[in-house]
Amino acid sequence: MRIKDFRLKKHLTQTGLATAVECSQNLISRMESGTADPKASILLRLADYFHVSVDYLLYRSEISTPPDVLQSVDLQTARIYSYYLKFQELTPENQEFVLLLMEKLKLSQLSEKEKSGNP
Protein backbone atom coordinates (compact mmCIF):
# COMPACT_ATOMS: atom_id res chain seq x y z
CA MET A 1 0.00 0.00 0.00
CA ARG A 2 1.06 3.56 -0.66
CA ILE A 3 -0.02 4.68 2.81
CA LYS A 4 3.46 5.32 4.18
CA ASP A 5 4.44 7.44 1.17
CA PHE A 6 1.33 9.59 1.50
CA ARG A 7 1.73 9.85 5.27
CA LEU A 8 5.32 11.02 4.99
CA LYS A 9 4.46 13.56 2.27
CA LYS A 10 1.96 15.10 4.69
CA HIS A 11 4.56 15.02 7.50
CA LEU A 12 2.27 12.88 9.66
CA THR A 13 3.15 10.36 12.32
CA GLN A 14 1.38 7.02 12.31
CA THR A 15 -0.56 8.23 15.34
CA GLY A 16 -1.56 11.43 13.55
CA LEU A 17 -2.84 9.51 10.54
CA ALA A 18 -4.64 7.01 12.76
CA THR A 19 -6.41 9.86 14.51
CA ALA A 20 -7.36 11.48 11.19
CA VAL A 21 -8.94 8.30 9.79
CA GLU A 22 -10.25 6.99 13.11
CA CYS A 23 -8.28 3.79 13.51
CA SER A 24 -5.43 2.58 15.71
CA GLN A 25 -1.77 3.46 15.26
CA ASN A 26 -1.08 -0.28 15.37
CA LEU A 27 -3.30 -0.82 12.31
CA ILE A 28 -1.49 1.94 10.40
CA SER A 29 1.84 0.32 11.29
CA ARG A 30 0.66 -3.12 10.17
CA MET A 31 -0.79 -1.75 6.92
CA GLU A 32 2.49 0.01 6.13
CA SER A 33 4.44 -3.19 6.76
CA GLY A 34 1.97 -5.25 4.71
CA THR A 35 0.85 -7.46 7.59
CA ALA A 36 -2.74 -6.19 7.87
CA ASP A 37 -5.81 -6.53 5.69
CA PRO A 38 -7.83 -3.47 6.64
CA LYS A 39 -11.59 -3.31 6.31
CA ALA A 40 -13.05 -1.54 3.31
CA SER A 41 -14.28 1.28 5.54
CA ILE A 42 -10.71 2.05 6.64
CA LEU A 43 -9.45 1.95 3.05
CA LEU A 44 -12.21 4.33 2.00
CA ARG A 45 -11.35 6.75 4.79
CA LEU A 46 -7.66 6.62 3.85
CA ALA A 47 -8.43 7.18 0.16
CA ASP A 48 -10.72 10.09 1.02
CA TYR A 49 -8.14 11.57 3.36
CA PHE A 50 -5.40 11.44 0.71
CA HIS A 51 -7.78 12.34 -2.16
CA VAL A 52 -6.95 9.25 -4.20
CA SER A 53 -8.81 6.13 -5.30
CA VAL A 54 -8.66 2.96 -3.21
CA ASP A 55 -7.19 1.14 -6.22
CA TYR A 56 -4.35 3.66 -6.37
CA LEU A 57 -3.76 3.31 -2.64
CA LEU A 58 -3.48 -0.48 -3.07
CA TYR A 59 -1.19 -0.34 -6.16
CA ARG A 60 -4.04 -1.75 -8.27
CA SER A 61 -3.98 1.30 -10.51
CA GLU A 62 -1.60 4.01 -11.57
CA ILE A 63 -4.53 6.39 -11.82
CA SER A 64 -4.89 8.36 -8.61
CA THR A 65 -8.15 10.14 -9.44
CA PRO A 66 -11.00 9.01 -7.20
CA PRO A 67 -14.11 7.66 -8.96
CA ASP A 68 -16.35 10.50 -7.76
CA VAL A 69 -14.16 12.98 -9.62
CA LEU A 70 -14.37 10.85 -12.73
CA GLN A 71 -18.16 10.88 -12.53
CA SER A 72 -18.13 14.64 -12.85
CA VAL A 73 -16.45 14.58 -16.26
CA ASP A 74 -18.38 14.25 -19.48
CA LEU A 75 -19.34 10.87 -20.89
CA GLN A 76 -16.75 10.95 -23.68
CA THR A 77 -13.91 11.52 -21.23
CA ALA A 78 -15.19 8.71 -19.01
CA ARG A 79 -15.30 6.42 -22.04
CA ILE A 80 -11.73 7.31 -22.96
CA TYR A 81 -10.67 6.66 -19.38
CA SER A 82 -12.25 3.19 -19.47
CA TYR A 83 -10.31 2.43 -22.67
CA TYR A 84 -7.14 3.67 -21.00
CA LEU A 85 -7.65 1.24 -18.11
CA LYS A 86 -8.16 -1.63 -20.56
CA PHE A 87 -5.06 -0.53 -22.47
CA GLN A 88 -2.99 -0.63 -19.25
CA GLU A 89 -3.91 -4.29 -18.76
CA LEU A 90 -2.43 -5.28 -22.13
CA THR A 91 1.07 -6.64 -22.56
CA PRO A 92 3.63 -4.14 -23.89
CA GLU A 93 3.53 -5.93 -27.25
CA ASN A 94 -0.24 -5.63 -27.50
CA GLN A 95 -0.08 -2.00 -26.40
CA GLU A 96 2.31 -1.33 -29.28
CA PHE A 97 -0.04 -3.15 -31.66
CA VAL A 98 -2.99 -1.00 -30.54
CA LEU A 99 -0.95 2.18 -31.01
CA LEU A 100 0.11 1.13 -34.51
CA LEU A 101 -3.49 0.25 -35.37
CA MET A 102 -4.67 3.66 -34.18
CA GLU A 103 -2.02 5.37 -36.29
CA LYS A 104 -3.07 3.37 -39.36
CA LEU A 105 -6.73 4.30 -38.78
CA LYS A 106 -5.78 7.95 -38.43
CA LEU A 107 -3.80 7.89 -41.68
CA SER A 108 -6.63 6.07 -43.45
CA GLN A 109 -9.13 8.66 -42.24
CA LEU A 110 -6.91 11.51 -43.44
CA SER A 111 -6.54 9.81 -46.81
CA GLU A 112 -10.33 9.43 -47.14
CA LYS A 113 -10.84 13.10 -46.30
CA GLU A 114 -8.31 14.15 -48.95
CA LYS A 115 -10.02 11.97 -51.57
CA SER A 116 -13.42 13.46 -50.79
CA GLY A 117 -12.09 17.01 -50.81
CA ASN A 118 -12.74 17.61 -47.10
CA PRO A 119 -9.37 18.56 -45.58
pLDDT at 71 over 60: no
pLDDT at 78 over 80: no
For the entire predicted model, the pTM comes to 0.53
Burial letters for 43-53: b for 16+ Cβ neighbours within 10 Å, e otherwise? bebbbebbebb
pLDDT at 75 over 70: no
Per-residue pLDDT tens digits for 14-28: 999 999 999 999 999
- In the CATH scheme, what is the homologous superfamily, with its name and number, of domain 3-64? lambda repressor-like DNA-binding domains (1.10.260.40)
pLDDT at 72 over 60: no
